[in-house]
Amino acid sequence: MLGVAAGIAGIVASNTPLGLNLEENHGLEVLFLLRGHRPPPPDIVVVSIDKESADYLAQDDDVTNWSRTLHADLTEKLAGNGAAVIAFDVFFEEYGDMNGDIAFAEAMRKANNVVLCERLRFEKVVVTNAGGAPGGQIETARRFPPISLFAESSVASSPYPLPKIPVKVSRDWMFRAAMGDTPMPTLPVVAFQLYALPVYGDFLRLLEEVFPARASRLPRSGEEMVLSRGLEGMIRDVWEIFEQEPMAEKRMLDALDSPPLRSADEKTRRTLRSLIHMYGGGATKFLNFYGPTRTIPTIPFWKVLTFGEAEQGHPFPLEVSGKAVFVGSSESRQLAQKDGFYTVYTKENGVDLSGVEIAATSFANLGEDMPVRPLPFRYHVVTLFLWGLVVGILSFIVPPAFSIPAVALLSLLYLGAAGYRFATAGAWYPVVFPLLFQGPLVLVGAVAWNYLALGRERKNFRRAFEYYLPVDVVDELANNMSGLQVSNRLVDGICLATDAEQYTSLSESLDPKELAGFMNRYYEAVFDPIKRRGGMVSNVVGDSMLALWLPTRGNPDPLNDACEAALEIASAMGEFSRSQEMQALPTRIGLHSGEIFL
């Protein structure tokens, strides 16, 4: 029962808002701490717009005021060196100098692989009722796209909203609704779909196999989609298919494992699987961070522009071929940081991950198909229930001296297994509630249960021996029941024996029930003086009784007590005989002082 209760309590508590918050803010932190840093995939690079670059290029600290000619040069450098996707985490909502804007637009048009970021502003709108009175507020998201020149020159533009409040960022949006519009893909989703264009034909064939009518409305090729600037529309159409078809993800994965794609190369299959999980994984996902700032390979903006020039006698390599490049504000020093977000890898000196690094992390998670994935609800329930049951059984059947270290060892094994699954597959097993809630709860419950059981045993012990032993002796033995053992030694003491006359004739004249009641009253009268005088009833056989007095520290010579008890028994027997309507039991009393073998 204790294990079942712990399992149910863990399930209920972990699914409350407080429980979910504890697991997300503390459980995930423990798993990241156990795992440590891990290398990001090789196909992602960040180009940092930082103070070092601003000083080198003589530009303003505010990146929106930079010359667009610099962005044009950067785009040409990256595209010329084979970058597969270029994603700018920079807002271009206003026109700059005409020549710079035209140069940047032309560079994007030639590269044909640039994705821009949009601003998403959240606003509260007052809703009125039928009478025109205010009826509440709703929060809406309004899009602020790049200037039309850039919007037409880039492949697509999309937002990437992150919370600018002091909370730990642990997840991001895959699709986010805006005012008067269907949910739109965010920057990492658009960038990854663009990066995965080489397998678009295979992805389209999978859709046609599973949903032929719906797939017929999609572009026939990736090139057609990019040229018509229909990438975002295609992503929305596919997302709607997955939203409206609950089994779409499973059916697509099943189709991926059937011929002919079963024989495709591993990279193609992994990319297709990532796309399926991206569309079927919901509007948000948990981020699988790689480490603190600059864990993802980062190249300062100014170094990209100077690629090919000699730097201290050595050419600077620009290895971006076939990679996705994210461009945005990123600093390695806290004082210079303007675009930082508090995460599990925020450094002690206050340096956060930048928005562009989080976007690159999200993209890399999609490419690896390895975001942080919480256990499905049914497995979450089973895990917590079984853990509570196992710990409960262990704590119940094993004494606390052994169950506490055993549960601690089991907890370490569970934490190690959870850490291993997190490191190798991004699987997020609950940590806070199994280890800090269920385990201690079960141990405390088991100790309380054992304490109550021991209390019941002591109570029964006292009830059984209180007529035979003095109260202080009974209490001492009840508190140390392990002391009940044979001593096998000679001691000086006093024996008091009683023997009732005419018991045989009395027993023949009464039925067993009446006889038992009569003898109980008889022995109550005999035992009472013995107990009051510190004696111990050693044995009772029929109508005879033997009591002992042994020397103690408080009473080294109990002979007087034994004699007083004998006189009081004689007096009590006279009172007892006069109070009984049945036959009296004259009682003989004997005393002896000497050595007793115990």
Q: Across-strand partners of 48?
A: 300, 328
**C-alpha–C-alpha distance, residues 366 and 172, integer Å:** 12
pTM summary value? 0.75
Distance of CA 229 to the CA centre of its chain: 43
| pLDDT for the residue 217 | 87
| pLDDT for the residue 139 | 62
Per the CB < 8 A criterion, the answer to whether 559 and 513 are in contact is no
| pLDDT tens by residue, 437-449 | 888 877 777 677 6
Could you tell me which of 64, 47, 93 has the C-alpha nearest to residue 338?
Answer: 64
Task: Phi first, then psi: give them for residue 110, nearest 5 degrees.
Answer: -70, -40
Please report the sign of the dihedral spanned by the C-alpha atoms of residue 182, residue 187, residue 193, residue 194: positive
| pLDDT for the residue 430 | 94
**C-alpha–C-alpha distance, residues 408 and 592, integer Å:** 59
| pLDDT for the residue 476 | 58
| pLDDT for the residue 74 | 96
| pLDDT tens by residue, 542-586 | 889 999 998 877 788 889 999 999 999 999 988 888 887 666 788
| pLDDT for the residue 502 | 83
Q: Which long-range contacts (CB under 8 A, 24 or more apart) does 119-127 make?
A: 119/91, 119/93, 119/143, 119/144, 119/159, 120/144, 120/159, 120/161, 120/176, 120/178, 122/161, 123/179
Q: Which two tokens stand for residue 322?
A: 């076939």
**C-alpha–C-alpha distance, residues 573 and 256, integer Å:** 98
pLDDT digit string (tens) for the chain, length 598 residues: 667 887 888 888 888 888 888 999 899 999 999 999 999 999 999 999 999 999 999 999 888 889 999 999 999 999 999 999 999 999 999 999 999 999 999 999 999 999 999 998 876 655 555 665 665 666 667 788 999 999 999 999 999 988 655 578 999 999 987 655 678 899 999 999 999 999 999 999 999 999 998 888 888 888 878 777 789 989 999 999 999 998 999 999 999 988 776 667 888 999 999 999 999 988 899 999 999 999 999 999 999 998 766 554 445 568 899 999 999 999 877 555 677 888 998 876 678 889 999 999 999 999 999 999 999 999 999 999 998 888 888 877 777 778 788 888 999 999 999 999 999 999 999 999 888 888 887 777 767 766 776 677 777 766 666 655 555 555 655 565 554 444 566 888 899 999 988 888 888 888 888 888 888 888 889 999 998 888 888 888 888 999 999 887 778 888 999 999 999 999 998 888 888 766 678 899 999 998 887 6
